Amino acid sequence: MFSTAWGEQIHPDTASSLVPRLIQRHNEPKEGTQSNPLPHARLHDLRHVHATILLLAGVPVHVVAARLGHADPSITLSVYAHVVSEQLAEAADVFAREVEKAG
């Protein structure tokens, strides 16, 4: 949910249409500066980036689910299974290294 500076709600379409315009403005050449262009993105894509970064940082799934408004963490797990699978592989690597150190 987005609001104006004085607390009134902004219509969701307004926020959604703003993201491509901000990206376009960022990507416009500016005299004397060089910027890395941003790819096309939707407002909803930022939600996925947010969740993925949190999960990769080790934030528990139930916390990420609550931030996303998912009623059940299983929804988050199903949408972000690829991220959780990556974490499982990393956990296996950590375990293997610790076993090697102990052995």
Q: Of all residues in the chain, what percent carry a pLDDT higher than 90? A: 45
Handedness of CA 35, 41, 44, 50 (dihedral sign): negative
Residue 84 CA to residue 30 CA, distance in Å, equals: 40
- For residues 33-55, average pLDDT: 89
pLDDT score at 4: 85
29 pLDDT band (50/70/90 cuts)?
Answer: confident
pLDDT score at 68: 94
pLDDT score at 62: 94
Using alpha carbons, list the distances in angstroms from residue 75 to 58, 62, 70, 72, 85.
18, 10, 7, 6, 15
Crossing angle (nearest 10°) for helices 43-56 and 81-102: 20
pTM here is 0.67
Domain ranges of the chain: 1-41, 44-103
Residue 64 CA to residue 103 CA, distance in Å, equals: 37
Beta bridge partners of 3: 9
Residue 35 pLDDT more than 80?
A: no
Give pLDDT tens digits for 50-79.
999 999 888 999 999 999 999 999 999 999
Crossing angle (nearest 10°) for helices 43-56 and 61-68: 160
